[in-house]
């Protein structure tokens, strides 16, 4: 009987160890440079990553439908608003990690430990250098000034980046003034909202409009591209970090959380802690032109370096999600398509 018990115990331990060596990751980050993150984690920990990639809405719906049977350990996606949506559906479990709390600024993580930001993006103003002088526009609020009538390009109001920007403006200005701003920007549009951030930048470079807003890494991609047309677009554009004399430039995150029914919880926490390591932080910056969230991490990205340092909004990113429903209603009221 004892040999049988010993054998069963050995099988159990082997099974537990094998389980601990796997991480099931659901990711909406479609960046080839993220491969370095995954291979780096496996190299350091021996934990193999099984990865499913899809759009964020599809992944969130999949996790919800899988319920308690979900094999997913970690969801990694972009924008605090999307992480907030998943949190509101009860998809995450809180994580208590001294390493994460030490390395990730409080403003870039959900207060209850449900999700954490691992890379930083700034929503900058881009302008056509042939039509707009340096310093001519310095705040988000100025985009609503009548002087820019017919000169502004923007994405759709349903875009999560614009919803998060509005979420920040609601917190800083109050809902009434934020609505006035949205109404003013809509009146200044050179065309109906369409396309992504790169499309807005190309429209500015082509002279279809003079100013727009974009996440900085879209500009950095163009500036680092080997394609002459992309380089020409970047060379014709100037970048402004808005609101340096007030609350600072609006920033958002790409982030992740451990899922409620994660079968490999310890591996999942190790993965989050790895994403906060110097090595992983450099991958985010050098590979995908996103800033590290961890202070004093040295990166080798010439475009980010040329943009320089800037004052960042320290509003907790969870607020961006919390204000998302109000943001969409506000945009709808001013008929921002």
Distance of alpha carbon 228 from alpha carbon 94, whole angstroms: 47
Under a CB-based contact definition with an 8 Å cutoff, are residues 287 and 34 in contact? yes
For residue 139, the model assigns a pLDDT of: 98
Collapsing DSSP to helix, strand or coil, 26 comes out as strand
Fold of 121-250+318-333: D-Maltodextrin-Binding Protein; domain 2 (3.40.190)
Residue-range domain boundaries for the chain: 2-120+252-299, 121-250+318-333
The per-residue pLDDT for range 2-42, each reduced to its tens digit, is 444 434 333 333 344 444 599 999 999 877 778 889 999 99
The helix or strand, by DSSP H or E, that contains position 294, with its residue range, turns out to be none
Mean pLDDT of 232-247: 98
Beta strands in 47-203 (DSSP E): 48-53, 74-78, 116-128
For residue 20, the model assigns a pLDDT of: 54
pLDDT confidence band for 168 (50 / 70 / 90):
very high
Tokens representing 199? Answer: 């499309």
pTM: 0.89
Candidates 3.40.190.10, 3.40.50.620, 3.40.640.10, 3.40.1280.10; CATH matching 2-120+252-299: 3.40.190.10
Give, to the nearest 10 degrees, the angle between helix 35-45 and helix 278-288. 160
The per-residue pLDDT for range 52-105, each reduced to its tens digit, is 999 999 999 999 999 999 999 999 998 999 999 999 999 999 999 999 999 999
DSSP state of 313: P
| Contacts of residue 275, Cβ cutoff 8 Å, sequence gap at least 6 | 37, 116, 118, 256
What distances in angstroms separate CA 333 from CA 66, 177, 185, 213, 327, one per listed residue? 36, 13, 13, 21, 10
Q: Is the dihedral of CA 292, 296, 298, 302 positive or negative?
A: positive
Identify the CA nearest to 294 among candidates 121, 123, 119.
119
Identify the CA nearest to 126 among candidates 249, 225, 31.
249
Exposure pattern of 97-122 as b/e (b: 16+ CB <10 Å)? beebeebbbebbbbeebbbbbbbbbb
For residue 17, the model assigns a pLDDT of: 44
């Amino acid at each position: 009987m004892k040999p049988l018990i010993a054998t069963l115990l050995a099988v159990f331990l082997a099974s537990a160890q094998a389980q601990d060596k796997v991480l099931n990751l659901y990711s909406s980050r479609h960046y080839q440079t993220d491969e370095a993150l995954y291979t780096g984690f496996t190299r350091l920990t021996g934990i193999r990553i099984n990865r499913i990639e899809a759009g964020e809405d599809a992944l969130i719906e999949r996790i919800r439908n899988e319920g308690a049977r979900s094999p997913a350990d970690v969801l990694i996606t972009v924008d605090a608003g999307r992480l907030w949506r998943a949190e509101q559906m009860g998809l995450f479990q809180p994580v208590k990690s001294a390493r994460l709390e030490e390395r990730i600024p409080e403003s870039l993580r959900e207060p209850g430990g449900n999700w954490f930001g691992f890379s930083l993006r700034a929503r900058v103003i881009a302008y056509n250098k042939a039509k707009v002088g340096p310093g001519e526009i310095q705040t988000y609020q100025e985009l609503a000034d009548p002087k820019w009538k017919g000169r502004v390009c923007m994405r759709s109001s349903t875009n999560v980046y614009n919803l998060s920007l509005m979420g920040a403006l609601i917190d800083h200005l109050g809902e009434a003034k934020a609505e006035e701003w949205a109404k003013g920007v809509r009146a200044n549009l050179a065309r109906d909202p369409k396309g992504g951030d790169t499309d807005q930048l190309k429209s500015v470079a082509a002279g279809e409009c003079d100013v727009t807003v974009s996440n900085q890494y879209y500009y950095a991609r163009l500036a680092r591209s080997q394609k002459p047309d992309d380089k020409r677009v970047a060379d014709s554009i100037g970048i402004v970090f808005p609101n340096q004399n007030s609350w600072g430039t609006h920033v958002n995150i790409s982030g992740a959380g451990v899922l409620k029914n994660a079968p490999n919880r310890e591996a999942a926490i190790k993965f989050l802690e790895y994403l906060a390591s110097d090595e992983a932080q450099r991958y985010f910056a050098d590979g995908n032109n996103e800033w590290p969230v961890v202070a004093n991490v040295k990166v080798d990205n010439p475009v980010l370096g040329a943009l320089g340092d800037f004052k960042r909004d320290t509003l907790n990113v969870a607020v961006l999600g919390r204000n998302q429903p109000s943001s969409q209603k506000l945009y709808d009221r001013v008929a921002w398509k």
